[in-house]
Structures are given as C-alpha cells and as structure tokens.
Structure 1
Amino acid sequence: MSTVPDPQVATGPLRERADAARNRAAILEAAAGLFAEHGADGVSMDQVAMAAGVGKGTVFRRFGDRAGLAAALLAERERDLREAVTHGPPPLGPGAPAGDRLTAFLDAYLDHVMRHLDVARLRETAAAGTGTRRGAEPYRFWHGHLVTLLDGAADPEAAAHALLANLSAAQVTAVLAEVGEDRMRSCLTRLARAALRPL
C-alpha cells in the first residue's frame, strides 16, 4: 500500500489557509479605504464585504462585528510601531535613556492614535462596553513597555496606566480641539518627566 499522500489532500488545507489570508487582507484593505472615506461610524459590514469581494458571512465569521474589524485593522497598523519599539533605532527603540524612549513613545503613539482616531474610538467603545480595554492584548503590550521604561519611578504600573489614559482615542478626541496638538504633546512630555521621578 502506498504511503505517498494524495496531492489534493496534502495541499487542500494549505490552499484554504492561503485563501483565508487573501480574504483577510482584502477585507482589511477594503475597511481601511471605506473608513478613511466615510468614517468608521458611516460604514456597514455589507459595504466592507462588497468592497472586498467576499460574502458578508465571511466578514462576520472572521471579525465578528465592526469593532472586531476595527481592532484587527489597528493591530495591522500597530505592527510597525511595535517593531520600532522593540527592535528599531533609538530613541524609540532600544539604546537610548529610558526618559528619551518614553517621550519618543508618547509622541509616536499619539501620532498613531491621531491617524486612526475614529477607528481607535470604535475599538475603545466596544472594549469599554465589555470592560476589556485594559485587559486587551494591545493595551497589555503598551502598558508593559511603559512599566519597563518607568522602572525605578515611584509607581511604574499606576504611572503607565495614567499615561496611556491620556493617549486613549476618547481622551484625544475630547481635548484636541480645545488645547491643540502642540499643547497635548508638551503636556505628555511633562507628565512623563513627572512619572519618571523616583520615590
């Protein structure tokens, strides 16, 4: 009896995974374009499915709802920032003093939130409804990064939460029109310096 696998059986799962990956990429690309054009609140899952060339059921099975789609889209956008933080050049990446890395991160993360403000708000709104924002994996990653940079400060864990609270999409939206971007950045820098102070 032959032990050579049937080529169709052997390649079937791989083909399905490739199709799923292509569908995922198409859906995220379509969502990014539609969100940019109409705003996250003005786009339906039907529109995303149609733009991606897939069935609506595919979008719902893969992402659950618009908030799940927003979370996946932001995860794609955050990948480069994570790479810069963990392996990139200083001051954002390793090799610079903790204070310089902290202020570089706050600047870079504020840039990220502002570029994707309505999508980030959608993700946060859904997370707030389930009480999972601080438990979500992206938040845990950024919080852990800040705790590391704040090592030796008075209360690294609490300070990291406080700094991230000022970088939430809801907070940025609430204060941006009132104080402006430059004042927000200056305030974040002052907060970071204060947080770095030892006991």
Structure 2
Amino acid sequence: MDKKATWDRFYTENQAERFKHFDWFFGYDVVSEFLLPFIRGKHSFSVLDVGCGTSDVGPGLYKHSATPVHVFCVDFSCVAVEHMRHQFLNLPKPKNCRSELHFMESDATELKEFQSQSFNLVLDKGTSDALLRASDGAKKASKVLLECLRVLKPHGNILQFSDEDPDARIPFLQQANKDSGQDLSIAVQELGSFRGVNYFMYIINLQDLGSVL
C-alpha cells in the first residue's frame, strides 16, 4: 500500500467511467464537525492534506469554511492529482471569497515543495494507516510525521484520522516524539463508529520549535 504504481492503477480504475470521490473511512460531511473547531476565529488559515487521493475533505473545507483557508491537497499519485485538478477546473465560489484550493503531486515522506513553518493545520486521513500496513511501514510513517512537523507553524496541529486503536497508535507517536527530539503534545479523541468500525482523531501539537528551526 506504499507503492506509487499501486495507487496510480487504483485511481485509474476507480475513475474509469466517471469521477467520484474516494475516501478512506469517511468524507468531509462526517469529519467537518471535528475539523472546523481548529479553524474558527482565525483571520486566515493554511491547511495541508497529505495523501489526499481523490478525497472530498480538502475541497469540502475550501467550499464551506467561513474562515478564509488556503488548502493544499498533495498526493504522490499523479493520476489522483490530475483527476482532482480536472474535476475542479471550474470551482464554485467558496463560502469565503478569499479561500484558495491547490492540488500538487508530492511525496508525504519528503515535502520538499514546502518551506518549514508553512501550515497552521496538517491533515492525515488514512495516509499513515496505509504506510503502517506496508513492509517497513513504521519507518515511512515516522518520516511523514517528521515532515508534517517541519512544515507546521508554531502552535499548529497535525490531525491523524485513523481506525487504529490508541493502544497501538499512541506508542508509535510517543516513539516518533522521542526520535524527533521535539516537545510534542499528543491527545486522542474518539470519533465514534462508522460502518461498524471505531475511529479516532490523534491531535499532535508542536510545543517547542527550537530543534525544527
């Protein structure tokens, strides 16, 4: 599940007849109630969605946020990115006319297109889960987290949406915290059951930016 060719083939086959969003777990309608509290009250907000695929979360946030948001949706599958770009060539006007939406091809383990401290919020909905299910996945998932931390602004948050139980995910995040040398705050919120599966939101906040700078 960590191979680019696998996902290029998946998105080619999934969009063979007509475009349709594909979301791990759930789409924007479900996750919006958990996302919007992190954005309310800000004058302007920058959001990075890593491993976006053809999810409707980034576009949904762009369309419905009352706060102006600059949303960057990135994926290492060029097929997924091109599908999304084509689908949103003629975007409807967002709720806030200052909001922007961008789609870019980028590898979440090496976000070289972005400078450090670029985003207020980083979203990871199923991306780390896919990596952790692959061989040598923990190493790659750790690289994703480190890159997300690098591009995070002071007092920003990383939100990992996952079906992995806290007994498994929290030790992984704590080890990544230790390896990074950062001072991270890690919290978990249970999102409830969807289609018979329990989901969680892991909230990672960077407390000390000293060793990132």
Which TM-score tier does this pair reach, normalised by the shorter chain? 0.3 to 0.5
Kindly indicate which of the two structures has a greater share of residues assigned to strand: 2
Structure number with larger C-alpha Rg: 1
Instruction: State TM-score, norm by structure 1.
Output: 0.33
TM-score scaled by length of structure 2: 0.31
